[in-house]
């Protein structure tokens, strides 16, 4: 539950309540520290989630319009980013999927020569699996079975796998006492495969962070302050002064608290702009590498809408299967619950052409060539039931950098080879999948019109390095140049994992927190 009696002084203040912030809250409170978590989003109960993503006020995060949901979209020149907001951060909207990266992740990027990261993180991956309640998806449904057929077409039968997911698969819809933490956690209910994972699980089956790390952290005394955002961090003789405001009250009087240490855990879109701002004011010793080495998973999000009336893509967990198409690439079918057809108005036919004017011509030709087929695609009765989102990812390098914008907190710049909206292998796989369901592939409007790729996994910007010339934080996640300042979130991920990163962020933070000594009484 929400904390009501906030003190003026804490041992640690954690900015953000996603995977990094939640892990930090539990482990620091277990070590005897007084902990406050500040989260800009709301605290959601199962009944607070929207029934479908057409309920924009409950689903989307647009606080200036009074929309305080869990889903946020941020648009940059080189990338469109999907992220989560609320107590529990990205766990509220992510697809529950917990894969480990392959070896290339541990041997590339700014951290590669510091430690043997694969061996170093292995025990912490095991802890993360246990804490998040990871288990294999027990059942395939239509979207998975079609992917299995695709695997057979390409002679990749042995590369098709069940996903490990953070979901409780007890008896369907039956509530039981805590199945994970020897009765110390909350009661849970068995998954009914409704497909609503990414709009907020209304059935208490998804293992979101408020049901494990944050729940247990509060038992150890950690406090949580939702609907507030941090504006400043200033060194003092005793530690740091933190300035913050109520979310949405941008011109209200700032409040102040004090802490001996700070954990920045607001993700790339929270931590990076805040540290860029502080580098130009109260924290000038932050590395000049802040905002550099920002990556996506080099991913493509391609919708495939079927014209078959007897298909149900919405049934199952958000991602129930995975096809490893090569050492560096894989494909996952992603689903929304029945009725969640908002994306119907946000997609256009997939067009593969880097030159913008040629792409527009191809789009018009495609629509004119088969007008009745496209009308049928856009007017299917239940878009979510007849649509799968194919998530294609690869661990090959592609980077951006961010700096403060003139009118916005961040603006993107190219840094070498940036992510691309045009991935031929992804488009080929989507085309074959579409053939199997007598459908058509579509992409987000901006990908088709402007060539801007999209990602649900923005990473980096505060990467690990040997020194402040190569990174922002050291191997233990401590910010170079300052005592007791840490970064534990997706911005600390220092190479491209090529897979859903929640498990890795959790494991990295578990390791970082293990390096902090217990509080001396």
- Quote the tokens at residue 368: 């004119």
Phi, psi angle pair for 27, to nearest 5°: -65, -35
DSSP 448: H
- Quote the tokens at residue 94: 């992510």
Query: What sections of 102-235 are H helices per DSSP?
Result: 103-106, 117-132, 142-153, 213-219
Phi, psi angle pair for 12, to nearest 5°: -135, 135
Question: Kind and range of the H or E element at 223?
Answer: strand 223-225
Query: Residues 78, 228, 330, 457: which is the catalytic one?
Result: 457
Between helix 356-369 and helix 371-378 the angle, nearest 10°, is 90
Question: Kind and range of the H or E element at 443?
Answer: strand 439-444
Phi, psi angle pair for 3, to nearest 5°: -75, 140
Is 457 annotated in the active site? yes
DSSP 508: H
CB-based burial, 9-29: b 16+ in 10 Å, e otherwise: ebbbbbbbbbbbbbbbbbbbb
Neighbours of 1 (CB within 10 A): 7
- Strands 223-225 vs 35-38: parallel, antiparallel or unpaired: parallel
Task: Quote the CA–CA distance of 177 and 155 in Å, as a whole number.
Answer: 44
Pick left, alpha or beta for residue 100 (phi over 0 → left; psi -120 to 50 → alpha; otherwise beta): beta
- Residues forming the active site: 457
């Amino acid at each position: 539950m929400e904390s009501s009696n906030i003190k003026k002084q804490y041992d640690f203040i954690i900015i953000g309540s996603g995977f990094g912030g939640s892990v930090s809250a539990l482990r620091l409170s277990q070590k005897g520290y007084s902990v406050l978590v500040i989260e800009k989003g709301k605290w959601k109960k199962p009944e607070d989630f929207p029934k479908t993503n057409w309920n924009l006020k409950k689903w989307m995060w647009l606080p200036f319009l009074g929309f305080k949901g869990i889903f946020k979209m941020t648009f940059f020149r080189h990338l469109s980013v999907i992220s989560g907001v609320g107590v529990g951060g990205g766990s509220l909207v992510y697809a529950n999927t917990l894969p480990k990266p392959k070896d290339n992740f541990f041997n590339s990027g700014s951290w590669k020569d510091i430690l043997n990261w694969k061996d170093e993180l292995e025990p912490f991956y095991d802890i993360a699996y246990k804490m998040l309640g990871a288990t294999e998806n027990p059942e395939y449904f239509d979207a998975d079975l079609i992917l299995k057929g695709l695997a057979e077409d390409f002679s990749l039968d042995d590369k098709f796998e069940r996903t490990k997911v953070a979901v409780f698969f007890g008896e369907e819809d039956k509530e039981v006492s805590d199945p994970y933490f020897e009765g110390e956690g909350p009661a849970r209910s068995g998954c009914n495969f409704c497909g609503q994972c990414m709009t907020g699980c209304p059935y208490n089956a998804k293992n979101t962070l408020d049901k494990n790390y944050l729940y247990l952290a509060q038992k150890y005394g950690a406090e949580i302050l939702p609907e507030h955002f941090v504006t400043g961090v200033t060194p003092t003789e005793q530690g740091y002064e933190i300035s913050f405001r109520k979310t949405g009250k941008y011109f209200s009087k700032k409040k102040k608290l004090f802490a001996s240490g700070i954990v920045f855990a607001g993700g790339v879109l929270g931590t990076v702009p805040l540290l860029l701002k502080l580098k130009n004011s109260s924290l000038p010793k932050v590395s000049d590498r802040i905002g550099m080495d920002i990556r996506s998973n080099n991913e493509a999000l391609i919708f495939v809408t079927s014209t078959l009336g007897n298909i149900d893509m919405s049934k199952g967990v958000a991602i129930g299967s995975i096809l490893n198409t090569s050492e560096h690439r894989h494909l996952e079918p992603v689903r929304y619950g029945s009725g969640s057809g908002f994306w119907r108005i946000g997609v256009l036919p997939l067009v593969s052409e880097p030159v913008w004017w040629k792409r527009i011509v191809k789009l018009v030709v495609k629509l004119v060539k088969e007008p009745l087929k496209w009308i049928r695609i856009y007017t299917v009765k239940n878009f979510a039931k007849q649509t799968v989102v194919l998530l294609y990812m690869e661990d090959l390098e592609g980077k951006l950098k961010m700096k403060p914008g003139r009118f916005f907190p961040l603006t993107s710049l190219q840094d070498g080879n940036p992510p691309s909206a045009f991935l031929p292998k992804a488009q080929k796989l989507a085309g074959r999948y579409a053939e199997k369901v007598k459908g058509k592939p579509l992409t987000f409007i901006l990908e088709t019109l402007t060539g801007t790729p999209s990602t649900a996994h923005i990473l980096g910007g505060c990467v690990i390095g040997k020194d402040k010339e190569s990174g922002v934080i050291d191997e233990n996640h401590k910010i170079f140049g300052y005592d007791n300042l840490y970064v534990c979130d997706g911005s600390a991920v220092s190479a491209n994992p090529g897979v859903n990163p929640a498990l890795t962020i959790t494991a990295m933070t578990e390791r970082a927190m293990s390096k902090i000594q217990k509080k001396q009484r």
